[in-house]
A = this chain, B = another copy of it.
């Protein structure tokens, strides 16, 4: 089996540390017990070679033998097909994981990320657009809280869908947005208590700190 290589930045500023998306891939690889190596690309000078692997100049990407895959969602699905610890093999189980994986990215993160950008900038303007964005996030969190009241993990057993959903909700918690959503908050605590998350998180922090 080919060696797996995870590529991320060689260094990033303090703020995003612990949230750079290589974390999602590290977490999945640790859950699956798949051996891998981490490589760094320059954060400051992103050359043509970088854009060949990641067309937006972002990270991460995964090299699996002849394959080079970008987008953390696509990478996690690819790893899910290699390990039953990340995604079941039967059609129903796969469909369950897949729908929640996309829900994390395209229904929840799509609301949460722009909302977090405003908070990051300290922009508290109450314009109609900003207000709609706020309501959009609250509606998503309300529905997720209802879902998570009744289940430990999104698709039966723990899966890549939980890695993405917990990582997205972790960003909300970081900006104090889960205080009225106890089931979401408990879910984030449950997910981030897993040894695979803790190792992935510590490894990301150590990787960036080593370049300071």
Separation of A143 and B70 alpha carbons in the complex (Å): 15
A110 to chain B: which residues have CB within 8 Å?
105-106, 109-110, 113-114
Main secondary structure of the interface of A (DSSP, over half): helix
Separation of A212 and B34 alpha carbons in the complex (Å): 55
Known: A132-B121, A143-B56. A103 touches B71 (CB 8 A): yes
Q: Is A101 an interface residue (CB 8 A)?
A: yes
Which of A122-130, A182-190, A196-204 lies on the face that meets chain B?
A: A122-130
- Ordered by A's residue number, 6 sampled pairs between the chains whose C-beta atoms are within 8 Å are A71-B98, A73-B102, A77-B77, A118-B129, A125-B125, A127-B127
Interface residues of A (CB under 8 A from B): 51, 55-58, 66-67, 69-74, 77-78, 91-92, 95, 98-99, 101-103, 105-107, 109-110, 113-114, 117-118, 121-123, 125, 127-130, 132-133, 136, 139-140, 143-144, 146-147
